[in-house]
Structure 1
Amino acid sequence: MLSFSLLSMGLVVLPFTAAQMIYDVTVGGAAGNLTFSPEAIFANPGDQVVFHFQQKNHTVTQSSFANPCGPKEGGFDSGFMPVAANVTDNFPTYTIRVNDTNPVWVYCAQAANTANSHCGKGMVFAVNCPADGSPNSFTNFKNSALAIGSSLAAAASSTAAAPSETASNTWTAAYGSVTVPPAPSGSVVTQPITLQSSSWTTVYTSYPNSPAPTPAALEGQVHKVIVGGTGKLTFDPPRISAQPRDIIMFEFHQKNHTVTQSSFADPCRQLNANGTTGFDSGFLPVADDASSFPTWNVTVNDTAPMWAYCRQKTPASHCGAGMVFAVNSDESSQRSFSAFQALAEQLNGTAAAASASPSATGSTSGAGAVRVGILSAAVAALGAFAIVL
């Protein structure tokens, strides 16, 4: 009987190795999801994890179990990957390779160390984490991140609390007998930003529920706001959320309006506090049959709330009719846009010369939050006409 050896035939038996796997993980989402989906996977050495970045602006940053919301020294970091709301395909990706079976801990670094921290809201991920019931489980990792978020939110809330002498939590308005809630206190945050191939350090004022400081793009996002129109005393939209480097382009339609910075407590007069004068477009008249419209831009430099109004008073106060506008207003607080508009209507744009006490000056948090845009020569020429409609 003949017997054969595989080796004698020149064949080599190789050890069996499992095929390398690719795991797809979705980061964020169109609904504003602050999630990695799935949140945790098990992978073998050589496998790859491909992170698909969807709407908003997130990172994939390696951390540690002991410090879930802080970067691991020498760990990987995708940098910020902004995705516009109207993107439906070709989402950017970032890939990591699994080198061993040790746990890998990951978080999103957006709004780090602030009350709006994505990690602090539970946006974390893990590879090869121990099972639930063990000390280093994914559940414990996520709970630690949420605890950090709760601590940051509590600190922000404490900072924003009204002074003890305002026991009623209200202030007297800058004029009139109306009372308004006190201004929130902001905290100055210094944060390194990496966006695409650029890196810089930004210093901004963080307020409760203010947006993240990272722009959606290096050149910023343009927000178009329609001012007025036939039969309209409105800004459309009346409020927006904007990030540093974003541009607000005010497009003036029919009649004769302005966009003028004010304060929450004094909605119908130009901001003038602590040596700071608020921006003002000047009057930009537009004829009823106009087909082209002048624009005026403001560039956002901060995440602080900003308030504005139209200062036209003929034949009646436009501000008093509710023609006001807000940027980064905290809609979950007493200083929401609707509260600002109601205050403007209640005060009716009156210019009573009552002196304001220090506690009545209102929020100046918007001061310095923007820089005035440049009018084109044509728009400046229009503004020279004192047409009041």
Structure 2
Amino acid sequence: MSSASPFYTAEHEAFRDTLRSFVAKEIEPFAADWDESGTFPRELYKKAADVGLIPLGYPEQYGGVEADLFYVIIAAQEVARAGVGGLSASLLSHNIGTPPIVKYGSEALKERVVPRILSGEAISALGITEPGGGSDVAALKTTAKRDGDHFIVNGSKTFITSGMRADYYTVAVRTGEAGHKGISLLLIERDTEGFSRTPLDRKTGWWCSDTATLYFDNCRVPVGNLLGEENQGSKMIMNNFNFERIFMAAGCTEFARVCYDEVVDYARQRQTFGKPLIGHQVIRHKLADMHMRIEATQAYLEKLAWQVENGQNPIADVCLLKNQSTLTMEFCAREAVQILGGAGYLRGPKSERIYREVRVNAIGGGAEEIMRDLAARQLGL
């Protein structure tokens, strides 16, 4: 982004430079190999914490670094420059698992848990989706029944990012009546008796992302691990989704830009019919359309971030931004692979990897169809 932007100060740009150097040194040279091997070193969490990436946006009293949403956008986009969505998802899974702990956990719980997460020592995950339903949160079936000083949790969650390696799981459970009114959030720790996990591999993309199904079999979870008030979890989940969608939109927009940058370089070097590929009008038009969509989506993202920073809650537009970003990513990845031709169908180019990761972004964090319907309702349509 240009430093002339009204949204980014010199401090923002200095942070961008720091992260860009970190990604170039510690992530990008290894990212493709990590993706092929299906994992990445746990030590990367500590390195990311030391550079200010993991504690970004959290209270100083727990080891965080206070920051506005524009810092968060920078963080999402600089990590995305490596072109490996699975790494972004898992390395930064705390950004969906930890906010409810910070906002709604007891002081004792926060002091015990949050500093370990923000230092990179522990990993945080979010458990909402179940085998029987995803975007329909109100239909979740995992139960938590009160038994003295504990909740007894039974059920399962699936497609959980950082599901195998996480230490702390922010889990949506049913503590009351059917529908949204009976949902609560519990923090469940990995060594809880009766809690088990199985990995989900053979994914289309996000290969190095740790994805799992979680099983709860009479897990005894202390009442002190309840986040907020009992049966008030639905609103907490919705608020968390808004942040997640802005964060996802930032990453998807940068993945689109990565595709654009890669094929601009390729088109300048590749010779066809006696001239560079970029010398053909049809290719230039494709590139112009990619640039147009990326810049429009980035502008939408930054406008909504400014609104949120100024106390507004543009739910409809956040939903539509999430869709706009995934559609932009899809368009740019498709056009990039097309411009690369046969080279784009072989593993190696970032665009090929991003092309395979389009759908997971269009599904996760709220499917495109759900986003449209929620936005329409918010708009009174």
Q: TM-score, normalised by structure 1?
A: 0.24
Structure of higher RCO (CA pairs closer than 8 Å, 6+ residues apart): 2
TM-score relative to the length of structure 2 = 0.24
The answer to which structure has the higher strand fraction is 1
**By percentage of residues, which structure has more helix?**
2
Larger radius of gyration: 1
